[in-house]
A = this chain, B = another copy of it.
Amino acid sequence: MDRLTIIKVGGKVVEDTQQLNLLLDQFNRFSGNKILVHGGGNTATEVAGKLGIETELVDGRRITSKSMLDVVTMVYGGLVNKKIVAGLQARGCNAIGLTGADLNLISAIKRPAGEIDYGFVGDVNDVNSRELRLMLNENVVPVVAPLTHDGKGSLLNTNADTIAAELAIELSGHYSTFLFYCFDKPGVLLDPDDDSKIIYELQAEQFNDYKQKGVISTGMLPKLDNGFRAKRNGVKEVLITNTENLSSGRGTRLV
């Protein structure tokens, strides 16, 4: 099977021009099939604030009212996504920006209101990679924003770590798939304040142990839960790292 690299980059990386340029340079160097999945939460919070819409997060997840859905559609699907696409095109990389609505790539179900009503947040229902794979065959590079759709005309806000994992799982049936979570730390750290304390290999049992003991910070948990799920479902390799170490492959490898 051909190799496919899926790189998920967090908001902090794509929202700073200098960091974004470094990332795009690094990303551009990966040969073969590749997909970039991005966040953009900080910009969404900033734009929402300017529009007088308050941001409410529960465990890092955004409560998405109708007006907040418009904001994330503008920011993720428009501003952040198209800046990345234009930046990659400038580097000779034939990028295309997508949300889960485009090509019916990722359909989702609006999360039912339980104790918390997350609003227009979608839990992934199905990934349809047919047209995406046709584009990969033409050396097109998809850039995917963290939005899905309900198939009834509404977009939904979906966590970018989850989107990256779901794409990786679906595509691992067609490619030897490598999933990289790229954020602002060089890997999963034993001590969040010491960047040298990288856990180079993390096993599922170890992870559960660390989770119980509270060693791994809460912000890392969705990334790792998604990463291990991807690993269990056919994804060849999952690496958690930062932009600087993206090409060297240094970071935390899930095993």
Contact = CB atoms under 8 A, between A and B. Distances in A.
A99 interface: yes
A151 B89 contact: yes
Interface string A34-74: 00000000000001001110000000000000000010011
Contacts of A152: 90
Contact of A99 (B50, B82, B149): B82
Given A99-B97, A134-B134, A135-B131, A104 B89 contact: yes
A86 interface: yes
A98 B82 CA distance: 9
Contact of A78 (B77, B90, B134): B77
Q: Is the interface of A mostly helix, strand, loop or mixed?
A: helix
Given A94-B131, A102-B95, A140-B131, A154 B86 contact: yes
Contacts of A102: 82, 85, 95-97
A96 B85 contact: no
How big is the A interface, by class?
Answer: 35 or more
A152 B50 CA distance: 29
Contacts of A94: 103-104, 131
Nearest to A137: B134
Nearest to A85: B101
Contacts of A194: none
Given A75-B74, A99-B85, A138 B149 contact: no
Contact of A96 (B74, B77, B95, B103): B103
Contacts of A138: 131, 134
Given A70-B79, A97-B101, A131-B138, 8 more contacts: A50-B52, A73-B82, A74-B78, A82-B101, A86-B153, A89-B101, A90-B151, A96-B102
